[in-house]
């Protein structure tokens, strides 16, 4: 009897089955009423009393082993079969959860793509700058208020090392190192010493454009502005130029577009004027050309600069500037991923 138990035990440990039917056959062979283990239990009656304890224990162990083994074989084949039954090769692959592009990146890319269609190429410069590139070369008088400590983050005084307050500094970097014609677009981050609120931040983003060649005129500037406004905000967009002042351009202007939100009828966003300001621009001041080593008698040019946050607000109506830098995924989730 003990030998029989041992040989069954060895056989059961190596059992295998390819499908449900084979598992069922094994169950019948070992565990059914007439199965081999049940027959052993029948024979148990004939075992002498003094061996009953030992053999009874072994028999029970054998039965448990067989039950567990057969159950686990059943589970394995059922899993395999249900996997292959559910396999639908026509189903689309489960979607990968893609990250979203930050709205500032989306708008920056869009601005760059519009200007690149006009032949502008990207130029970049450092965020940590010196006074000459940010102010002096751009015709800022020595006592101009923008140099004031309140606007500019200084890293060091004398010689001045500071965080650029506008991307116009890239203009002077490119002009001092490149022969005209120059046709560049300069996206980048800028810093100003402002109290952080819904409408102001100590850092934000700008895009600057500069075009220098022979005979560049204000008409070229205006046509570029109109093209940009209509590509960015739709073909019915109107533009309006208001005289303004910047040290580095003469004449200077600010450009408004017909309010994108109310279509020019007047709403809270445009303060009921029908127009919203989006950028500053003008003809590069001859002083700037000369300071950067470009002959102002031979060349002329235009420049323009805009805040990316402002354009983004107009396009996506983000009301609080702080949302751009809080990195809240719920905010980012609202923007389409573009590849």
Query: Given the rule CB under 6 A, which of 108-116, 120-128, 265-273, 302-310 is the region that contacts ligand DAH?
Result: 302-310
**C-beta closer to ligand DAH: residue 11 or 200:** 200
Judged by CB under 6 A, the residue of 257, 304, 308, 311 near ligand DAH is 304
Burial-class residue 54 by CB neighbours within 10 Å (0-12, 13-18, 19+). Answer: exposed
- Does residue 280 interact with ligand DAH by CB under 6 A? yes
- Does residue 192 interact with ligand DAH by CB under 6 A? no
Residue 280's Cβ-side half-sphere holds a number of Cα atoms within 13 Å equal to 16
Q: Which residues, other chains included, contact 243 with Cβ-Cβ below 8 Å and sequence gap of 6+?
A: 251, 252, 253
User: How far apart, in whole angstroms, are the C-alpha atoms of residue 177 and residue 59?
Assistant: 94
Residue in the block written with tokens 């002083």:
287
Judged by CB under 6 A, the residue of 225, 305, 313, 324 near ligand DAH is 305
- Does residue 186 interact with ligand DAH by CB under 6 A? no
User: How far apart, in whole angstroms, are the C-alpha atoms of residue 192 and residue 153?
Assistant: 6
**C-beta closer to ligand DAH: residue 168 or 258:** 168
- Does residue 281 interact with ligand DAH by CB under 6 A? yes
- Does residue 283 interact with ligand DAH by CB under 6 A? no
Query: Given the rule CB under 6 A, which of 128-136, 179-187, 274-282, 293-301 is the region that contacts ligand DAH?
Result: 274-282
CB of 123 to ligand DAH, least distance (A): 13
User: How far apart, in whole angstroms, are the C-alpha atoms of residue 227 and residue 233?
Assistant: 10
Token digits of residue 190: 């800028």
Which string of x and - marks every residue 218-257 that binds ligand DAH (by CB under 6 A)? ----------------------------x--x--------
Grouping H, G, I as helix, E, B as strand and the rest as coil, residue 69 is helix
Judged by CB under 6 A, the residue of 282, 288, 291, 301 near ligand DAH is 282
User: How far apart, in whole angstroms, are the C-alpha atoms of residue 240 and residue 101?
Assistant: 32
User: How far apart, in whole angstroms, are the C-alpha atoms of residue 220 and residue 182?
Assistant: 14
CB of 152 to ligand DAH, least distance (A): 12
Please give the residue whose beta carbon sits closest to ligand DAH in the complex: 305
Do the Cβ atoms of 63 and 40 come closer than 8 Å?
A: no
- Does residue 285 interact with ligand DAH by CB under 6 A? no
Q: Which residues, other chains included, contact 57 with Cβ-Cβ below 8 Å and sequence gap of 6+?
A: none
124 is in an annotated binding site: no
- Does residue 180 interact with ligand DAH by CB under 6 A? no
Judged by CB under 6 A, the residue of 208, 256, 285, 309 near ligand DAH is 208
- Does residue 162 interact with ligand DAH by CB under 6 A? no
Do the Cβ atoms of 253 and 244 come closer than 8 Å?
A: yes
**C-beta closer to ligand DAH: residue 231 or 250:** 250
Q: What is the secondary structure of 286-309 as a DSSP string? A: HHHHHHTT--TTT-EEEEEEEEHH
User: How far apart, in whole angstroms, are the C-alpha atoms of residue 286 and residue 299?
Assistant: 9
- Does residue 310 interact with ligand DAH by CB under 6 A? no
Task: Please give the annotated binding residues for Mg(2+), written as ranges.
Answer: 250
Task: Please give the annotated binding residues, written as ranges.
Answer: 250
Q: Residues in the site for ligand DAH, rule: CB under 6 A?
A: 166, 168, 208, 246, 249, 280-282, 303-305
């Amino acid at each position: 009897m003990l030998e029989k138990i041992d040989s069954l035990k060895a056989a059961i440990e190596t059992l295998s089955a390819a499908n449900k039917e084979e598992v069922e056959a094994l169950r019948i062979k070992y565990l059914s009423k007439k199965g081999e283990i049940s027959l052993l239990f029948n024979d148990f009656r004939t075992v002498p009393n003094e061996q009953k304890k030992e053999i009874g224990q072994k028999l029970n162990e054998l039965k448990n082993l067989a039950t567990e083994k057969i159950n686990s074989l059943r589970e394995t084949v059922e899993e395999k079969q249900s996997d292959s039954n559910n396999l639908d090769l026509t189903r689309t692959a489960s979607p990968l959860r893609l990250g979203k592009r930050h709205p500032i990146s989306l708008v920056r890319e869009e601005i760059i793509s519009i200007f690149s269609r006009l032949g502008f190429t990207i130029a970049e410069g450092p965020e940590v700058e010196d006074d000459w590139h940010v102010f002096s070369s751009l015709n800022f008088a020595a006592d101009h208020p923008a140099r004031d400590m309140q606007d500019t983050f200084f890293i060091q005084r004398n010689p001045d090392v500071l965080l650029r307050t506008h991307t116009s500094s890239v203009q002077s970097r490119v002009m001092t190192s490149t022969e005209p014609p120059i046709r560049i677009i300069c996206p980048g981050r800028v810093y100003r010493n402002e109290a952080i609120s819904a409408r102001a931040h100590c850092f934000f983003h700008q895009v600057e454009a500069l075009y220098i060649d022979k005979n560049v005129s204000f008409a070229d500037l205006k046509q570029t502005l109109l093209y940009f406004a209509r590509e960015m905000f739709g073909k019915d967009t109107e533009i309006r130029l208001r005289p303004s002042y910047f040290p580095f351009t003469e004449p200077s202007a600010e450009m408004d577009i017909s309010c994108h939100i109310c279509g020019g009828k007047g709403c809270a966003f445009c303060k009921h004027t029908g127009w919203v300001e989006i950028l500053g621009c003008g003809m590069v001041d001859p002083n700037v050309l000369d300071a950067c080593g470009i002959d102002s008698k031979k060349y002329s040019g235009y420049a323009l600069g805009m805040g990316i946050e402002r354009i983004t607000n107009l396009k996506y109506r983000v009301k609080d500037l702080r949302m751009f830098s809080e990195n809240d995924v719920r905010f980012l989730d609202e923007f389409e991923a573009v590849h």
